[in-house]
Structure 1
Amino acid sequence: MMNAKVIQFFIFQFIFFVVCAPLLGSCLQTDIILSNSFIKDPDTIVSLGNVFKLGFFTPENTTNRYLGIFYTFSEKTIVWVANRETPLKDSSNTVTISKDGNLVLIDSKNQTVWSTNATTSPMKTSVQLQDSGNLVLQDNATSAIIWESFSYPTNVFLPNMKVFYNITTGKKTIYSSWKNESDPGVGSFTSGIEALNIPQGFIWKNHHPYWRSGPWNGQIFLGVQDMYDRGFQLTTMVNNNAGIIYQTIIGFHTDQASSLMKVSLNSSGSFVHTIWSDQRKNWDIVWWAPKTECDVYGTCGPFGSCNIQDSPVCSCLRGFEPVNKEEWESRNWTNGCQRRTQLQCDQSNNTSGDGFLRLPFMKVPDFAEQFSSSREDVCRNKCLRNCSCMAYAYDYNIGCMFWTGSLIDVQRFVRVGYDLYIRVLASELDSHKNKLFIIIPVVVAFCCMSIFTFIAWCWIAKRKGEKRKDKRTFEALQIFSSNSTAIVLKDESQKVNIEELPLFTFETLGNATNKFHDNNLLGNGGFGLVYMGKLENGKEIAVKRLSALSRQGIEEFMNEAVVISKLQHQNLVRLLGCCAEKEEKMLIYEYMPNKSLDVCLFDHTHPSRNILDWTKRFSIIEGIGRGLLYLHKDSRLKIIHRDLKPSNILLDGEWNPKISDFGLARIFGGNQEHANTARVVGTYGYMAPEYAMEGRFSEKSDVYSFGVLMLEILKGKKNIHYYNQEWSLSLLGCAWKLWSEGNGLAFVDETIVDSNIEEEIMRCIHVALLCVQEFPKDRPAIQTVLSMLNRGIVDLPDPEQPIFAEKWNDLHRGSTQFISQVGLSVNEVTLTVLDGR
């Protein structure tokens, strides 16, 4: 007698064919494809919980058709592709179950383009799309799974997926990136698990290691800094004790459902972990790797160590020197380092000539060998007795880790990581200790002398204070005598070193601003409120008053007061003086009647917006560029603004732009080209990728901000608020897409479009896209940008696609301190006094 379930199944089949066959296109809102049925482009099947669809899609910038799985709420997010290497050329394609029980894709010529190729499939099968995103081919009689898409992934890792590695056979699950956004074919990057000794996750580029997770200790990957944060948990790994190890996503601490989460391997070789924001209808980035240059596998070569906070990032381990010093100095670190002096290893004497140097907070090297032990001293003794042992480390869950060959892919982390003990000559250890015995007393003595010198200096300064104040008062009166404004300076600024900058009294500014009345309020920023004022002689001023609730403090106040008072350029705002009485801190600028650029550009109700025709906008772009050129090249010291945005561009009565707000500016001296900071500051949407993600900034960081600013001026839209719903693109991504399609005018504010200036506008978009390229070396210097805009350079190189082409937000967690806001952020920076030209 037939099983009752089987009878029910055949009854369901009969009803399906009798009722739905004539109306196939409308009846396929089901999660199953039955034998002898089909779906035809553009039909789809939908998982039971309405999470995933199986159907046909066309990537951007191509007409090719592919069969794939994608989200119902985000159909452009493809998680699996069937015919990724054999695109379809038209829409006359069919998906059905063949006579041998396999799922097949048939093109318009009735040729089989793709098949599940399950050799053991029975005659009666069906295909089901599950809410997990898994497409399964199963036996109708037994419900046994014959084939599943989770076993043949493309570039997306979903919850409930398992990445396998068979220790016995060496077979493993491999993910592969798309070639590019328009071609889902197998790209240059693949990923999977290696478990030759201790399991590790890898990204390979053309079959060579590109990124490594570090050993799995049962809880975290030792080479992923974010995993040391207790709030971060991405994956887990299981050894089933049958020769198979597998990894799966366990999620991120969030209130959202785990099914709306994915890890993608993109065409640039990065893992990007995202979760779906139903509120923003967008994928929020939670984590990505590699994040920095040091995360790339073997950046510094054998026996080299990478530290992203150093410049240059690579250095040889202690006791080693570059194999090729010329290559090393040119920042080609491929060949790595070699020992200065050979080890005096003597097995019969327990290698008494060698010792171990402790390196804290390290990502341990590749090719670790494991030895189970519950004590760290066992690791040391075992390594010391083996002349081939170059280094060791200890983890409670793993035990001993030994390295007998070259130490490759070593990285210094920030306050997390493991102690790595490398083998060196005992004499080098002694030398290191002797140096410490010398250095420590010298440092202590120097500190004591510095303290005594400081006390003496304070005593002398106090006695000379009155004379200095009288002199400064006289100078201030001389400076403002031409304006017939008598400014009385008070003595309450004695704790603020304001040098020659004229001082206004609080009373003077209160009278000028009608006691800081709301009717005089011009705007509000991270520093505080800005008021319009009028001095007794009728001269109009702008007063920037530090709010008690401001996140900026005396350091930023002094940085701006001293730095900008020394800069003289027609495209930099002029600082007239300051006020520092008791708790009050204010800066006084020349008044800009046309306010700031963001008001004119983004406030559609403001009457001045209609005045900004193309001529004025181009003039503003040029003026900002000239101001940057002065800061980067023409002033005596190179100055990086770090917060270039429309609200910091003021417009005078003639619509000339003037760069303002130097509270976060940094000063470079000599031949310094870039610097690093432990804490990122600035405004979200204008920060360069290397600054936002790595804390590394240079003049090319300002060039990136200038590129974003140019696109905003052209579009009349704010980058952080702009979102193209149709393409899921940011302002940068939209500009890139339209320009690359030769339709750049569609990007520009329609109020300034004119066929007579089409070429000029297209050139501006081209130059802006060159400025917002991912890597600083690819961006032109500001003097080159101005030459490009003025046709001093006629032929322009093609830009690369911006890294932030797709819309993303500030959901960055883990150890990366990423601060994004509309205003400003407090930063622990070194503030420098300079004398400008």
Structure 2
Amino acid sequence: MGKLIWRCSVSILLFFWMTMALFPRKSLAIDSIKAGESINGNTQILVSAQQKFVLGIFNPKDSKFRYLGIWYKNIPQTVVWVANRDKPLVNYSAKLTLKGQGLVLQNESDGILWSSTSSTFLKDPIAQLLDNGNLVIRESGSENYVWQSFDYPSDTLLPGMKVGWDLITGMNWKLTSWKSSNDPSSGDFTYGMDPGGLPQLETRRGNVTTYRGGPWFGRRFSGTTLFRDTAIHSPRFNYSAEGAFFSYKSAEDLTVRYALSAEGKFEQFYWMDDVNDWHLLYELPGDACDYYGLCGNFGICTSSTIPRCDCMHGYQPKSPDDWNKRRWVGGCVIRDNQTCKNGEGFKRISNVKLPDSSGDLVNVNMSIHDCEAACLSNCSCLAYGIMELSTGGYGCITWFKKLVDIRILPDNGQDIYLRLAASELDSDNRKLVVVLCLSVASLISFLIFVACFIFWRRRTIKVETGNEVQSQENEAEMPLYDFTMLVNATNDFSLSNKIGEGGFGPVYKGMLPCGQEIAVKRQAEGSSQGQTELRNEVLLISKLQHRNLVKLLDNKKRSLLKWKKRLDIIIGIARGLLYLHRDSRLIIIHRDLKVSNILLDNDMNPKISDFGMARIGYMSPEYVIDGYFSMKSDIFSFGVILLEIVSGRKNRGFFHPDHQLNLLGHAWKLWDEGNGLELMDETLKDQFQKCEAIRCIQVGLLCVQENPDERPAMWSVLSMLESENMVLSQPKQPGFYTERMVSNMHKLAVGNSCTSNEVTLTLLDGLQERVGSVVNLMVI
């Protein structure tokens, strides 16, 4: 019995030691090592004093390589710095040793994979991981660092790190993206500061600038709201003859970081303890106008207009044909080049992100008038701007080469003074005189009108006259119907056709010759409400059916909407929805986005209406199943609208002889079979470019994905529609793909050509509310 117990004890002990050997053993939490000491990459790490950061060997997901890096201690692995990013470990044996020259990372064969660079030899060095995530090397007893990881960033900018230049030492602090989310090696994008001209932060892909944040303009950066004091972080900018750099501080109780993604997005995150995840606060580029040089030289971008690119005042497209095709990169050229000592002057353009200042002239000791005079005296000067210095006073910046990467900002933009020929300025002066004359004439006319109205009001008791009613009817643009037609439609107002009765009188069911069912309200002789009230109700309904509420899918009129106009409408709707989701003071989810809620003005520019009404348009799968609404619900509705516009067919009531899929299912079936262009409206034949049509269909299918997380954000949708070079992901099967069971009788009913508009009308009468569904007889 004793032997059995002894054998069991030995077996348990052996099992314990074998189990422990399978897992890496970590040392006690130390934050530093001394000269000659090493940490084993398999078993040991450094942990900062307050347990905020860790230094050790990590293995990215789905990667066979291993790297020396720094990451957060109490946050799921988020790597903020990588030492040997371009020379990874291929096995599990590695050690980090501190020597007099610095830190050295070696593999099992003592080959050097990485080392810190320092020209200073230390007698008693210490390598320490600080609580801000900075790995430093210093002499024992000294607080001066001879080397620090903050001088060699990877893809992350932590509080206290710098982006910029030290012109004395030649140090260039910049971020370099990862190759991919699982590959820390140096990627395609860098984020740093351009030292030419005024300092400006920019993202580059190789030597090509993809995003520019605007130059430093004395007190802040032009063109972005990201680097401003908030409750989350406090940006700092240092600009002197010794160099220029940007850094920031964060609130003590918040974890904030900036990162450059593998796709070239400069992003700001902060950690949310309640959801245990990073929250994206901001990203750049944020919209199409943020992409560098979108409108070319002397072009100016406005995100709220269609098209978004225009030439600066006094300039015209270099290639009108390319401009009409939305190929703006060629830019603009000046109309009148008589700008050298020929009476030329300057025109102010307000609220802009200043042009790229790389290589242009900056003078911080020049007044406003001297700046204008200096530019005017040099025929090569294209424009000038005034900067308000943080130390007080003003400085001057002048542009000589070109004006590129300019956009209109909604607020906090700067002014630029553009050099123009006298003919352009005279034209402006003439326009100003015309505007002033018209304004004075309008004011006089208004005063005369007010006087006449007061005189008429004193002499008139009745507020409404027959002429007023007639003018209101004309304003409403109501089609008129012959009384005989209504008599025939209601079977001479037969009692069998009577479906109800209200304050005005009975309501009858009728049938027009085209087969359209209608409701006819007839005023009774003893009605408690008179003709005025009835007319007001009709006018209200007709105003809801305004002529600009165009039915985009009307079989009779859809051929009038050419492809270019449809594309403009699609982009306009996307821009309006982006404003609701991101740019408005309050984040708005529309909830009722459908074709009938898209208002077109006289120039066929779309306006979104009817926010948050009770009647739902194109419902997303998550709302139907779970009753859950989000911005992605609006994006699903937008995708349906997009597919309806390009196909010229409605999603509801869509039938196909070969299957019982709705429009979404039909679009997916054609796409999956490689026949996506067959979805296009037959009336658009030879009007569109295949690549544009395919892109629109692909974007539409991406928007109607069943999983909300797989639908793109609205800013991404807009970029997809406007950028020819943006790579789109492949859509999956959309929501509501299942086939329906319909009768042949229902199929035959689809061919009805009579059109109508349905509105939900709410009239308030005292404290009572009447809600009714009214079918308007007025055909658009």
Q: Which TM class, normalised by the smaller chain length?
A: 0.5 to 0.7
1:489-527 deviation line (CA, Å, top 9, x unaligned): 65778367224999xxxxxxxxxxxxxxxxxxxxxxxxx
Shift of 1:588: 8.2
The answer to whether the Cα contact below 8 Å between 1:700 and 1:779 also exists between their aligned partners in 2 is no
Q: Match of 2:75?
A: 74
Change (3 A) 1:278 1:316: same
Q: Distance in 2 between matches of 1:456 and 1:155?
A: 74
Amino acid at match of 1:706: V
Aligned residue for 2:146, secondary structure, equals: strand
Q: Does 1:425 align with 2:438?
A: no
Shift of 1:587: 7.4
Q: Does 1:249 align with 2:262?
A: no
Shift of 1:285: 2.0
Amino acid at match of 2:205: K
Q: Does 1:498 align with 2:541?
A: yes
Change (3 A) 1:236 1:499: same
Q: Does 1:291 align with 2:286?
A: yes
Residue 359 of structure 1 is aligned with which of 334, 349, 366? 349
Shift of 1:358: 1.2
Shift of 1:145: 2.0
Shift of 1:356: 0.6
Shift of 1:32: 1.4
1:382-414 deviation line (CA, Å, top 9, x unaligned): 221222211111122151211122112222212
Q: How does 1:366-385 map to 2 (within 5 A)?
A: 366-367=356-357, 368-373=360-365, 375-385=367-377
Q: How does 1:409-420 map to 2 (within 5 A)?
A: 409-420=405-416
1:212-235 deviation line (CA, Å, top 9, x unaligned): 222223431122245589889752
Change (3 A) 1:232 1:330: farther
The answer to whether the Cα contact below 8 Å between 1:228 and 1:416 also exists between their aligned partners in 2 is no
Q: Distance in 2 between matches of 1:426 and 1:408?
A: 23
Q: Match of 1:199?
A: 199
Shift of 1:186: 1.3
The answer to whether the Cα contact below 8 Å between 1:44 and 1:53 also exists between their aligned partners in 2 is yes
Q: How does 1:398-417 map to 2 (within 5 A)?
A: 398-417=394-413
Shift of 1:84: 0.5
Q: Does 1:177 align with 2:185?
A: no
Q: How does 1:15-26 map to 2 (within 5 A)?
A: 25-26=25-26
Q: How does 1:426-825 map to 2 (within 5 A)?
A: 426-438=422-434, 458-460=468-470, 485-486=499-500, 488=502, 494=536, 497-499=540-542, 598=622, 601-602=625-626, 631-633=644-646, 635=648, 703-707=701-705, 710-711=706-707, 719=708, 731-732=709-710, 775-776=720-721
Q: Distance in 1 between matches of 2:181 and 2:112?
A: 25
Shift of 1:440: 6.4
Shift of 1:426: 0.9
Shift of 1:781: 13
Shift of 1:656: 9.9
The answer to whether the Cα contact below 8 Å between 2:164 and 2:244 also exists between their aligned partners in 1 is yes
RMSD: 5.4
Q: Distance in 2 between matches of 1:457 and 1:40?
A: 92
Q: Distance in 1 between matches of 2:258 and 2:153?
A: 12
Change (3 A) 1:169 1:836: farther
The answer to whether the Cα contact below 8 Å between 2:344 and 2:419 also exists between their aligned partners in 1 is yes
The answer to whether the Cα contact below 8 Å between 1:703 and 1:779 also exists between their aligned partners in 2 is no
Amino acid at match of 2:39: F
Q: Does 1:53 align with 2:54?
A: yes
The answer to whether the Cα contact below 8 Å between 1:374 and 1:396 also exists between their aligned partners in 2 is no
Shift of 1:422: 0.6
Q: Distance in 1 between matches of 2:332 and 2:160?
A: 43
Q: Does 1:139 align with 2:128?
A: no
Q: Match of 2:388?
A: 396
The answer to whether the Cα contact below 8 Å between 1:360 and 1:419 also exists between their aligned partners in 2 is yes
Q: Match of 1:269?
A: 264
Shift of 1:74: 2.2
Q: Distance in 1 between matches of 2:216 and 2:639?
A: 53
Q: Distance in 2 between matches of 1:290 and 1:552?
A: 20
Q: Match of 1:190?
A: 190
Aligned residue for 2:500, secondary structure, equals: coil
TM-score when normalising by structure 2: 0.61
Segments of 5+ residues of structure 2 without an aligned counterpart are 1-22, 451-463, 505-528, 546-585, 599-611, 629-635, 653-659, 665-680, 685-694, 740-775
Amino acid at match of 2:60: P
The answer to whether the Cα contact below 8 Å between 2:221 and 2:227 also exists between their aligned partners in 1 is yes
Q: In the comparison of the two structures, how many residue pairs are matched? A: 567
**Which moved further from structure 2: 43-52 or 479-488?**
479-488
Change (3 A) 1:122 1:561: closer
The answer to whether the Cα contact below 8 Å between 2:594 and 2:637 also exists between their aligned partners in 1 is no
Q: Distance in 1 between matches of 2:503 and 2:592?
A: 18
Q: Distance in 2 between matches of 1:626 and 1:132?
A: 45
Q: Match of 2:667?
A: none
Choose 1 or 2 for highest CA Rg: 2
Aligned residue for 1:90, secondary structure, equals: coil
Q: Distance in 1 between matches of 2:119 and 2:182?
A: 32
Change (3 A) 1:304 1:598: closer
**Which moved further from structure 2: 315-324 or 124-133?**
315-324
Shift of 1:114: 1.1
**Which moved further from structure 2: 86-95 or 166-175?**
166-175
Q: Distance in 2 between matches of 1:476 and 1:116?
A: 91
**Percent identical across equivalent pairs?**
27
**Which moved further from structure 2: 474-483 or 41-50?**
474-483
The answer to whether the Cα contact below 8 Å between 1:175 and 1:192 also exists between their aligned partners in 2 is yes
Q: Distance in 2 between matches of 1:33 and 1:218?
A: 44
Greater RCO structure (CA 8 Å; 6+ sep): 1
Change (3 A) 1:201 1:781: closer
Shift of 1:437: 3.7
Shift of 1:136: 0.9
**Which moved further from structure 2: 462-471 or 380-389?**
462-471
**Which moved further from structure 2: 294-303 or 463-472?**
463-472
Q: Match of 2:676?
A: none
1:62-100 deviation line (CA, Å, top 9, x unaligned): 2221111111122431110011001222323222324x4
The answer to whether the Cα contact below 8 Å between 2:702 and 2:732 also exists between their aligned partners in 1 is no
Q: Does 1:117 align with 2:62?
A: no
Aligned residue for 2:289, secondary structure, equals: helix
Q: Distance in 2 between matches of 1:144 and 1:231?
A: 31
1:513-567 deviation line (CA, Å, top 9, x unaligned): xxxxxxxxxxxxxxxxxxxxxxxxxxxxxxxxxxxxxx999xx999989669xxx
Q: Distance in 2 between matches of 1:422 and 1:224?
A: 22
Amino acid at match of 2:356: D
Amino acid at match of 1:411: R
The answer to whether the Cα contact below 8 Å between 2:638 and 2:703 also exists between their aligned partners in 1 is no
Q: Distance in 2 between matches of 1:481 and 1:782?
A: 59
Shift of 1:789: 7.8
The answer to whether the Cα contact below 8 Å between 1:68 and 1:78 also exists between their aligned partners in 2 is yes
Change (3 A) 1:361 1:785: same
1:22-68 deviation line (CA, Å, top 9, x unaligned): x9934331211333231322532211111111122222332221111
Shift of 1:787: 14
The answer to whether the Cα contact below 8 Å between 2:222 and 2:353 also exists between their aligned partners in 1 is yes
Change (3 A) 1:52 1:229: closer
Segments of 5+ residues of structure 1 without an aligned counterpart are 1-22, 346-350, 503-550, 565-584, 605-622, 642-654, 660-667, 672-696, 712-718, 720-730, 737-767, 792-832
Amino acid at match of 1:355: G
Q: Distance in 2 between matches of 1:161 and 1:120?
A: 22
Change (3 A) 1:456 1:278: farther
The answer to whether the Cα contact below 8 Å between 1:211 and 1:297 also exists between their aligned partners in 2 is yes
Q: Distance in 2 between matches of 1:773 and 1:467?
A: 38
